[in-house]
Amino acid sequence: MAATQATLGLGQLASPNGPILREGGYATRFAQLFAEGGLLDQLARILADERGPIGLANTFADLTSDDRPIGKALARDGLLDRMADEDGPFVRLLEAGGPLDRALSEDGPLYRFLAPGGPLDRLLAEEGALDRVLAEDGLLEQLLADDGILEKLLAPGGTLDQLISLGATFDAIVPRLEALGHAIPTLNSAVTVLSGAVEPLGALAGRLPGGRRRPAVEPFVTAAPDVD
């Protein structure tokens, strides 16, 4: 009886309407898992793909390694920990009465910028700053026009090249100015020494006999002849 029941059970399992062979049965599910192109095959292809999740995970692990900038920032007591510290920039930025709180308050810069008639309304208003920039023959067209400001700035031999060449001239002048600056204290010392030497000579000349009685030399003036 047990063998008969087992045979009948196997027959029911293997029948076209049984749990194995019916549509959506165990055989179909088994094929979806293990057949070519099934879930396991697709999973193996994904894992073998260099640009798949495993490749992305390896790239992320490489970027966050201890010797990379992101890894150093994420390390304990690194940049992120210092930024998020109790006295760090994040806390000071987000605390009550902090810069962000003041910026988002009713009378803060953001409210004033978005208020009716504020800078944003004036910028976007008809014939406002944005309209003037984008208008015909406006600032944008003047910048991008042929022989315009931008072309003159970037053209060979243009304003930018002239500024660069002027920088080279400044580089050549700076050492000379530095040498002149070093020479000025020496010149001042020489002038001081000469002044100290001239004063005694002037006093000595005043003491020489006849030094004070010598008349001043009158300038030689030739009288113009009378013309009849």
Q: Encode pLDDT of 98-144 as tens digits.
A: 888 888 888 888 888 888 888 888 888 888 888 888 888 788 888 88
Report the domain count for the chain: 1
SS3 of residue 145 by DSSP: coil
Residue 79 makes CB contacts below 8 A (sequence gap 6+) with 72, 73
Does the pLDDT of residue 96 top 60, yes or no? Answer: yes
In a domain, 69, yes or no: no
For residue 161, tell me if it sits in a domain.
Answer: yes
Residue with the bigger pLDDT between 11 and 158: it is 158
Tell whether the model's pLDDT for residue 180 goes beyond 70. yes
What's the pLDDT band for 227 if we cut at 50, 70, 90? very low
On whether residue 221 sits in a domain, the answer given is no
Mean pLDDT of the chain: 75
Decide if 174 is inside a domain: yes
pLDDT at 178: 77
Is 60 exceeded by the pLDDT of residue 216? no
For residue 205, the model assigns a pLDDT of 57
**Residue 94 pLDDT > 50, yes or no?**
yes
What's the pLDDT at 29? 72
- Specify the pLDDT at position 149: 79
pLDDT tens figures, 63-84: 888 888 888 888 888 888 888 8
In a domain, 173, yes or no: yes
In this structure, is residue 196 part of a structural domain? no
Interior/surface letters 64-83, b for 16+ CB within 10 angstroms, e for the rest: eeeeeeeeeeeeeeeebeee
Count CB atoms within 10 A of the CB of residue 14.
12
- Residue 162 falls inside a structural domain: yes
Domain membership of residue 174 as a residue range: 156-191
Q: Is the CA virtual torsion 171, 176, 182, 185 positive or negative?
A: negative
Reported as a pLDDT band with limits 50, 70 and 90, residue 220 is very low
pTM over 0.85: no
Residue 220, in any domain of the structure: no
Lowest model confidence (mean pLDDT) among 93-97, 171-175, 207-211: 207-211
pLDDT at 228 (0 to 100):
44
The pLDDT of 162-189, averaged and rounded, is 75
